[in-house]
């Protein structure tokens, strides 16, 4: 039996138990059916019990499912009552969500979450890296962020929760007169001999620099030496234009003047991105954010790993652990 059981899993169970139909239950919870099925499987794993019998024609509760039903109802009613008695303090305050940088897919997740919970205030923050954001999460100055969970210190990970959202294809930003600028896509080995900027020296983006080291290892590509720490998009672009190093990025990376963005191939490196939040956080906006992330991930197949994709083994295990 797990030490902590996510109330969201019980809500998923209760919806299916009452509807006896996964499609109707998913619509009731405003989630994708695939995400709902994953939550039910996870609950079954955590409880060590099969809760439903599924056939092509019907869904029925097992004996264990029948046994769980009254407990689930009481647990969720108690949670709702507790929040009601204390005036839902978390739900009244804004939920502070780090989307890393403007223009990334995390902004779309936040926008959908706002639609799902219009009475909650979800406010954007820009922390630029998960390592930096994690410190803010643990200090209570931030509620949620996006990034590479495997790149955090294990002691930090132990105090946070995560939900895999996307395998994001990686790219490189090149000066427009770079020797590789004429290619539509850049084979990874073509960067041999280059010094590629990947945030070295920036204490807020350690997880990204570590991913670059793993990707470049044995390929003759170096991580560029630390540059002056830039604050803000304009200052970053000015420093990068001066240094003229290729920049390791993702396909959603915002356009930069006099530069071009090209996908990396052979293999296709993937940045594993999770939604990350502090353990024990209860906020209706957080539920909407998780629902939005799950819905977009299912609808757009963000968690489908291409056959020629590359991802570190440690990241793959963490991403699959909550799939």
Residue 87 clears pLDDT 70, i.e. is over it: no
Report residue 1's pLDDT band, with 50, 70 and 90 as the boundaries: low
Would you call 139 helix, strand, or coil by DSSP?
helix
Range of the domain at 226: 169-267
Length of the chain: 323
CATH of the domain at 192: 3.40.190.10
- Cα separation, 27 vs 135, in Å, equals 36
| Range 106-132 average pLDDT | 92
CATH of the domain at 77: 1.10.10.10
Answer yes or no: do 147 and 197 share one domain: no
Identity of the highest mean pLDDT range in 118-132, 212-226, 233-247, 274-288: 212-226
Residue 238 clears pLDDT 70, i.e. is over it: yes
Answer yes or no: do 257 and 174 share one domain: yes
Do strands 268-278 and 144-147 pair parallel, antiparallel, or not at all (unpaired)? antiparallel
Answer yes or no: do 204 and 317 share one domain: no
Q: Which of 321, 316, 323 is nearest to 148 (CA)?
A: 316
* Residue spans of beta strands (DSSP E) within the chain: 52-54, 59-61, 95-98, 122-125, 144-147, 160-175, 186-187, 195-196, 222-223, 247-250, 259-265, 268-278, 309-310
Which of these three, 30, 63, 85, is where a domain ends?
Answer: 85
- Cα separation, 189 vs 172, in Å, equals 13
Residue 114 clears pLDDT 80, i.e. is over it: yes
Asked if residue 110 belongs to a domain, the reply is yes
Residue 193 clears pLDDT 90, i.e. is over it: yes
| Range 96-125 average pLDDT | 92
| Contacts with 304 (C-beta within 8 Å, 6 or more apart), sequence order | 167
| Range 122-143 average pLDDT | 91
User: DSSP letter at 49?
Assistant: S
pLDDT, residue 323, reads 42
| Contacts with 19 (C-beta within 8 Å, 6 or more apart), sequence order | 25, 28
Asked if residue 75 belongs to a domain, the reply is yes
Do strands 186-187 and 160-175 pair parallel, antiparallel, or not at all (unpaired)? unpaired
Helix residue spans in 142-283 (DSSP H): 154-157, 206-216, 233-243
| Range 262-281 average pLDDT | 95
* 318: its two tokens: 């963490």
Find out whether 276 and 221 touch, Cβ atoms under 8 Å. no
Report residue 218's pLDDT band, with 50, 70 and 90 as the boundaries: very high
């Amino acid at each position: 039996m797990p030490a902590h059981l996510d109330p969201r899993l019980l809500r998923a169970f209760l919806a299916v138990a009452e509807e006896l139909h996964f499609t109707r239950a998913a619509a009731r919870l405003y989630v994708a059916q695939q995400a709902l099925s994953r939550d039910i499987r996870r609950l079954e794993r955590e409880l060590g019990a099969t809760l439903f019998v599924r056939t092509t024609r019907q869904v029925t509760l097992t004996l264990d499912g029948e046994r769980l039903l009254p407990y689930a109802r009481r647990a969720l009613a108690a949670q709702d009552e507790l929040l009601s008695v204390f005036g839902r303090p978390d739900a009244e305050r804004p939920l502070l969500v780090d989307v890393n940088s403007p223009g990334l897919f995390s902004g779309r997740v936040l926008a959908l979450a706002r639609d799902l919970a219009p009475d909650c205030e979800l406010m954007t923050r820009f922390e630029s890296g998960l390592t930096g954001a994690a410190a803010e999460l643990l200090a209570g100055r931030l509620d949620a962020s996006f990034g590479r969970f495997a790149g955090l210190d294990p002691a930090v990970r132990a105090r946070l929760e995560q939900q895999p959202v996307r395998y994001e294809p990686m790219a490189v930003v090149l000066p427009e007169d770079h020797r590789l600028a004429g290619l539509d896509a850049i084979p990874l080995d073509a960067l041999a001999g280059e010094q590629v900027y990947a945030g070295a020296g920036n204490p807020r983006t350690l997880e990204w620099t570590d991913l670059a080291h793993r990707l470049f290892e044995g390929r003759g590509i170096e991580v560029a030496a630390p540059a002056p720490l830039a604050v803000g998009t304009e200052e970053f672009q000015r420093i990068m234009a001066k240094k003229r190093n290729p920049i390791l990025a993702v396909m959603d990376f915002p356009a930069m003047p006099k530069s071009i963005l090209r996908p990396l191939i052979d293999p296709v490196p993937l940045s594993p991105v999770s939604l990350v939040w502090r353990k024990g956080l209860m906020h209706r906006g957080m539920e909407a954010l998780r629902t939005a992330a799950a819905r977009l991930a299912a609808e757009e197949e963000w968690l489908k790993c291409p056959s020629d994709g590359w991802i570190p083994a440690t990241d793959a295990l963490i991403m699959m652990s909550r799939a």
